[in-house]
Amino acid sequence: MGRIPTVELSRYLLTGQLNRRGCLRARLPRISASAAFGPSPQHRRFTSHVETTTSRPSDHATTAPATPVTPLRKQLKEQAKALKASGKKKKKNADSQTVPGWELTVGIEIHAQLNTARKLFSPAVTSFNDLPNSHVALFDLAMPGSQPLFQPESLIPAVRAALALGCAIQPVSRFDRKHYFHWDQPAGYQITQYYHPFARDGRVVLHARDGIAPEDGDRVEIGIRQVQMEQDTAKTTAQPGEVQWLDFNRVGLPLIEIITLPQIRHPATAAALVRKVQMLLGAVDACVLGMEAGGLRADVNVSVRRTEDVAAGKPLGTRTEIKNLSSFKAVEDAIIAERDRQIDVLEAGGIVEGETRGWSLGSTETRRLRGKEDEVDYRYMPDPDLGPVVIGEGLVSHLASSMGILPDAEINELVERYGLSSKDAMSLMMLDDGARIQYFYNVLDALEERLGLGGDMESDQRHALLAANWCLHELGKLTELSSDLGMTPDGECHVPSRDLAAILSHLHRKEITAKVAKELLWGVFRREVATGGVTQAIDAGNLWFKGLSEQEYAELADMVVHGEHKVVREFLRFKQGKLKAYPQGKLMFLVGKMMRTGPEERMDPASAERVMKERIESIYLLALDENE
């Protein structure tokens, strides 16, 4: 799937190092194959080789962030509480996508942190939960006489992100200073790309499966105005009594800001866009952390106008900006609330003020932060210390060709080739910031090796569907939070992929029952079963499925049918044409009784059903026929 980690790519492009033990040849065709021909028969084969990077300390910081526990659950609880308290019933979002007589217009700005080893303008190392203020260069603190040093490796994830968003990379871009005073910004300005961003004119295609509003139909396309690089600010931690703690480890980390055109018409579509952007950024390994963990932040610009004004070609209404939305749900809910507020204002004969508003998860209304008169004049100025960024065509074409398959193509493949539902395919893609799907590929590769299957060449892909279901649903049952699985970006977790493959290979061959397989999964997860010891554990526990023989099944069936003449008569009625549908319910009743009566651990419901059906057809019906 083209997941070359950004760090690895940086090292290759900047220093010519290839830090892999694996085969170089295997990697290159994957790059071109997947990029040039879309989902190709070979491409998945190679994904299993991706993870061999030997990790250095700095790599570790970027590739294996210790994901903090997401506060989402807590927030949702509070939201529910707030709703209860306010006594209002939660509106169904589906009902609130449109307001008759009004048209909504939304544009979004998304901030995401680039996946780099160093800060944007200093060689200080990027870090997540390291000791506060331990990775700070002189420039990061705006020490007098220090100067910015652009780190060219920031361009690799930045350009990948822009390419994934379909943007045109600008050959020359520049940095500007955006001035405002805040304690989290030591220089008194943020370096960003206001006048000349590095990427423009992109687009994101949203499908129905992405969760867009039904009113948008099957597919909608949202334009990207520009993508720019900029610095992050320091992290503030509020302490009791007007005290703020500052961690300058975060100051100067590279961000990209993605600005869409005002082309979004429905709240659900806005949320879908943000989700899709996150998925795209994750797929090309351009950014770190998911939205819920604070790696992605969105600001939305909302305006409304009457539908008759739209028809009359009048301009858009006055827009307001809602800042700092940190979840998909917040995006949708804040837009709905703000749209309704603006409509109320206008219907009451008022005017919408251009202003900045805030939103907290769980509330039902946006709140005013500052009006236009308090708006900061950022006094944008080209940074006189920083030269233009010149991006060569060679870099762009190399990054474009090494980007691999993008999520839409990958989802199509999961659905069409392996038979997953769209929903499951999306979930598999989104979970653990893209690590879950990698895990799935690892499991699938190991499984096919065990089964001796030829991978994608096989027409029968039932084993793949089995693997997908387990990677998604059974694995999901192990922990409350998916982060507790310890999933790494290269697709490994507390349940090693080879062990899950071992379990699934036995299950697929019907050598163990599903119940046993689930117990084994728990065993591996709790480390009761040693790594690589699945088969031994089955031996030790005598858990092999020793199925009943045909004879034993038949005897069991006879035992169960005895005294169920009424039931058996139903089958006869069907055969005589007195009953339209085959009495499947009755059959299953008998099978269930059979399962309860017999030794469950040796029985397979499918076999029991088959034998029961045969017995009814060949023996009992004949007997009844003769009797009647």
Instruction: Give CA–CA dist 83/72, Å, rounded.
Output: 16
Question: Contact at 8 Å (CB) between 211 and 275?
Answer: yes
147 binds other proteins (CB under 8 A): yes
186 binds other proteins (CB under 8 A): yes
469 binds other proteins (CB under 8 A): no
In the complex with other proteins, the residue whose CB is nearer, 18 or 376, is 376
Radius of gyration of the chain (CA): 30
Give the binding-site size for other proteins (rule: CB under 8 A). 28
- The site string for other proteins over 26-65 (x = CB under 8 A, - otherwise) reads ----------------------------------------
In the complex with other proteins, the residue whose CB is nearer, 144 or 577, is 144
Reference 327, options 358, 295, 370, 286; nearest CA is 295
Tokens representing 226 are 């520009």
Reference 402, options 29, 21, 50; nearest CA is 29
Burial of 42 (0-12, 13-18, 19+ CB in 10 A): middle
- The site string for other proteins over 112-141 (x = CB under 8 A, - otherwise) reads --------------------------x--x
Hey, what's the torsion of the CAs at 478, 417, 492, 537, to 10 degrees? 60
Provide the residue count of the chain.
628
Instruction: Give CA–CA dist 233/244, Å, rounded.
Output: 14
Element (H, E) at 475: helix 475-476
Instruction: Give CA–CA dist 545/393, Å, rounded.
Output: 60
Reference 608, options 550, 559, 544, 545; nearest CA is 550
Reference 301, options 110, 111, 106; nearest CA is 106
514 binds other proteins (CB under 8 A): no
183 binds other proteins (CB under 8 A): yes
Hey, what's the torsion of the CAs at 173, 257, 98, 290, to 10 degrees? 140
Instruction: Give CA–CA dist 162/281, Å, rounded.
Output: 9
Instruction: Give CA–CA dist 26/318, Å, rounded.
Output: 55
Instruction: Give CA–CA dist 212/326, Å, rounded.
Output: 19
Paired sense of beta strands 320-325 and 296-306, if any = antiparallel
In the complex with other proteins, the residue whose CB is nearer, 146 or 607, is 146
In the complex with other proteins, the residue whose CB is nearer, 379 or 477, is 379
In the complex with other proteins, the residue whose CB is nearer, 234 or 603, is 234
In the complex with other proteins, the residue whose CB is nearer, 177 or 207, is 177
Question: Contact at 8 Å (CB) between 173 and 391?
Answer: yes
194 binds other proteins (CB under 8 A): no
Instruction: Pick the piece of the chain touching other proteins (CB under 8 A) from 27-35, 108-116, 173-181, 317-325.
Output: 173-181
Which of 56, 88, 182, 423: binder of other proteins (CB under 8 A)? 182
- The site string for other proteins over 341-380 (x = CB under 8 A, - otherwise) reads ------------------------------------x-xx
- The site string for other proteins over 525-564 (x = CB under 8 A, - otherwise) reads ----------------------------------------
Q: ∠425-5-454 over CA atoms, to 5°? A: 55
In the complex with other proteins, the residue whose CB is nearer, 187 or 208, is 187
189 binds other proteins (CB under 8 A): yes
Which of 66, 69, 143, 606: binder of other proteins (CB under 8 A)? 143
Element (H, E) at 200: strand 199-207
Tell me the closest approach of the beta carbon of residue 121 to other proteins, in angstroms: 9
CA distances in angstroms from 574 to 178, 567, 569, 578, 619, listed in the order given: 80, 12, 9, 6, 16
Instruction: Pick the piece of the chain touching other proteins (CB under 8 A) from 176-184, 201-209, 221-229, 619-627.
Output: 176-184
Instruction: Give CA–CA dist 252/540, Å, rounded.
Output: 56
In the complex with other proteins, the residue whose CB is nearer, 76 or 149, is 149
In the complex with other proteins, the residue whose CB is nearer, 143 or 530, is 143
In the complex with other proteins, the residue whose CB is nearer, 72 or 142, is 142
Instruction: Give CA–CA dist 207/221, Å, rounded.
Output: 9
- The site string for other proteins over 377-406 (x = CB under 8 A, - otherwise) reads x-xxx--xxxx-------------------
Which of 72, 82, 149, 369: binder of other proteins (CB under 8 A)? 149
In the complex with other proteins, the residue whose CB is nearer, 377 or 480, is 377
In the complex with other proteins, the residue whose CB is nearer, 198 or 470, is 198
Which of 24, 87, 95, 181: binder of other proteins (CB under 8 A)? 181
- Which residues bind to other proteins, rule: CB under 8 A? 138, 141-150, 177, 179, 181-183, 186-189, 377, 379-381, 384-387
